[in-house]
Amino acid sequence: MLYIGLDVGGMSVKAGVVDGDGNILIKSSCPTGVERGHEATIRDMAALALRIVKESGRAMDEIASVGVGIPGVEDPSTGLVPFCNNLHWHDVPLSGMLSGLLGKPVYVDNDATVAGLAESVAGVSKGYNSSVFITLGTGVGGGIVLNRRAFTGAHGVGSEIGHMVIVAGGEPCNCGHRGCWEKYASATAIIRMGGELLAKNPGCALSMAVAGDPSRVTAKLVLDLAKEGDPGCAEVFREYVYYLCVGLASLVNILDPEVFVLGGGVSYAGEFLLNAVREELPKHIFYTSMPYARVELATLGNDAGVIGAAMLGRRA
């Protein structure tokens, strides 16, 4: 059987026809058009799905189900998307509407969760029974896979690992709490720490690179300067890796997964990040004489959302 995966973002909807092994047979996209409201967006999603099936030379009879990854969650008790800030959605019956338009079962989950599922089916964590995918971007998202199935808990919010508090009373978070992991382990955290470096050391290499303008600081610039050996940015990087590993160690204690998969923009630092995390993480492990999770870099890139969404039906 074949599956349709839809990856819904604020700017575009990506879609693909995917086989049972996670291979994309055909893919395309369309604008999300959030300003038109959810009904128009969902109709466009259905039209896109029908179009790519036709262009693939297949028939809808060969499609087992449709999966959707969204920057939010679906309430499993109601089938509604209670809120999805990037799409301006509130109590949207996404799965019901899309199933009615396509005549197929529709499964919905968080975009980070489906990316984690994709890596476990066709990426770097393939072959492992348990894994945790961590998106290190503007925020920190998570995709938990247990027994080769996506896990989001009893109420659909069990993978919101970015809002695990690691510093009591720490940095204020957009969620309304303080000290959340994403305030210390995201690209945004690197930018904040880079700005703090500028304030303390106006003559540093980072300050020269941005002509003293904090608004020009990017996570990539800080990481690039750290790679080059700049002392200030290297210290920012060490602090970042420390907090990243504090969160990873907590996940080891709670879930004991076989592998962590690092994705998102910060992961593009590649081996520089990976080697630093692999060196730091053992310092935070409780059972030091026992095996613990491997740390790897994500491999599927922008295709992860489509593949993982499609695989929601295969795993149902």
pLDDT digits (tens, 9 = 90+) for 143-156: 999 999 999 999 88
Interval 64-77 mean pLDDT: 94
pLDDT band at 157 (very low <50, low <70, confident <90, very high): confident
Scored b (16 or more CB within 10 A) or e, 147-171 reads ebebbbeeebebbbbbbbebeeebe
Token couple for 170? 């720490």
User: Do the domains 2-123+302-314 and 131-298 sit in the same CATH topology, yes or no?
Assistant: yes
Mean pLDDT of the chain: 96
pTM of the entire predicted model: 0.93
244 Cβ contact partners less than 8 Å away, ≥ 6 residues apart: 136, 184, 185, 277, 280
The per-residue pLDDT for range 173-190, each reduced to its tens digit, is: 999 999 999 999 999 999
Token couple for 289? 């004489």
The per-residue pLDDT for range 87-104, each reduced to its tens digit, is: 999 999 999 999 999 999
Interval 71-89 mean pLDDT: 91
What kind of fold does domain 2-123+302-314 have according to CATH?
A: Nucleotidyltransferase; domain 5 (3.30.420)
pLDDT at 196: 97
- Can you say how many angstroms the Cα of residue 97 is from the centroid of all Cα atoms in its chain? 25
Distance CA 35, CA 153 (A): 31
CATH of 131-298, one of 3.30.420.40, 1.10.3720.10, 3.40.1190.20, 1.10.1050.10: 3.30.420.40
* C-beta separation of 5 from 67 below 8 A: yes
Domain boundaries, the chain: 2-123+302-314, 131-298
pLDDT at 316: 56
Scored b (16 or more CB within 10 A) or e, 216-251 reads ebebebbbebbeeebebbeebbeebbebbbbbbbbb
- Can you say how many angstroms the Cα of residue 107 is from the centroid of all Cα atoms in its chain? 18
